Amino acid sequence: MYTPIQPFNLVLRIAAKMLIPLILMFALYVQFHGEYGPGGGFQAGVIFAAAFILYALVFGMAAARAVATETVLRVLAALGVLLYCGVGLAAVFAGGNFLDYNVLARDGVSGQHLGIMLVEFGIGITVASVMIMIFYAFAERGVTR
Amino acid sequence: MVLLGFLTVTVLSVVFLRDLFAIVMLFGIYSFLAAALFVTLDAVDVAFTEAAVGAGISTFLLLATLALTARREKTLPDRPLLPLLVIGIVAAALVYGTLDMPHFSDPHAPAHSRTAPYYIESTATEIGVPNIVTAVLASYRGYDTLGELIVIFTAGIGVIALIGYRKRDRDT
């Protein structure tokens, strides 16, 4: 199991505690502000995962696994892809083409807004959980050899 | 130009170094330089991705890989001539393939004369989103982005299948 680098390094722990909420907030900002500024699901997912990895590095894998287990991550990774495809299929059932967001709401523009937001959210979920999953896999491997 | 020069220096030192840890660090620097280059080209979205993915996560993942393997690169005992020949031929073929492409930043290239103006003109009315990159990525090119997402998902599955989680007997 991945033990913390220095379990009693006070500076590191407090700095991480201060940084992690900011990183998470920034990830959410990038996620939901992607239509207006630079950013989007991919970047947000990676930033979110980075905050999580920082937490696991400083506080140890056991603490990280208390937040999200491998099973949860696996389900979330699939859920993001499912959300994306689901938006596409919802457009089909609403009478449009696959991933044609125009039909999702009453007028085309708000349908596009809704579709883009949901799709980006799906991207964010999958990217973040896959990154954390890969980190878990590496971290678990690294110790007993 | 300065940034491009730095990029070249970084790449050359990556090629000639044998210490994998230093190479990983140089890759991080390379990504940051590339991100800065993209910012000067006004491609902030790409720069953002490069900084987050290239300099952030992939540096970390490479370090994690190093922790599992060795730190020094193995030096081959002989000079492999056949691989060099293959690489040379492939590189020549690729360069030959680019000869048909429009010149860099040619304003009459098909991408600049048809698709790009269409996106720029119709994003405001069709999508209503200020960031055209997001509109192209998530709406006009939704299929491609779905493909990219599935690539990431598959990569995650692949890593888990190859390395796997350890058995849960040590779990607290």
Q: Which residues contact B91 (CB under 8 A, 6 or more apart)?
A: none
Nearest CA in chain B to A101: B139
More confident residue, B105 or B171: B105
Task: Return d(Cα A122, Cα A84) in angstroms, integer.
Answer: 6
A94-113 pLDDT tens trace? 888 888 888 877 787 888 88
Q: Assess whether pLDDT exceeds 80 at residue B170.
A: no
Task: Return d(Cα B146, Cα A119) in angstroms, integer.
Answer: 9
Q: Assess whether pLDDT exceeds 90 at residue A8.
A: no
Task: Return d(Cα B84, Cα B81) in angstroms, integer.
Answer: 5
Q: CA of B136 to nearest chain A CA: how many angstroms apart?
A: 10
| pTM for this model (two decimals) | 0.81
Task: Enumerate the domain spans of chain A.
Answer: 10-141
- Would B87 be classed as within a structural domain? no
Q: Say yes or no for a CB contact (<8 Å) between A46 and B164.
A: no
Which CATH number do you get for residue B41?
1.20.120.1200
Q: Assess whether pLDDT exceeds 70 at residue A19.
A: yes
B111-121 pLDDT tens trace? 778 788 888 88
- Would B100 be classed as within a structural domain? no
B41-93 pLDDT tens trace? 888 888 888 888 888 888 888 888 887 777 777 776 677 788 889 999 999 99
Q: Say yes or no for a CB contact (<8 Å) between B64 and A142.
A: yes
- Domain of B139 in residue numbering reads as 107-172
Those of residues 67-126 in B touching chain A at CB distance below 8 A are: 67-68, 125-126
Question: What is the total count of domains within chain B?
Answer: 2
- Would B35 be classed as within a structural domain? yes
Cβ atoms of B64 and A135 within 8 Å: the answer is yes
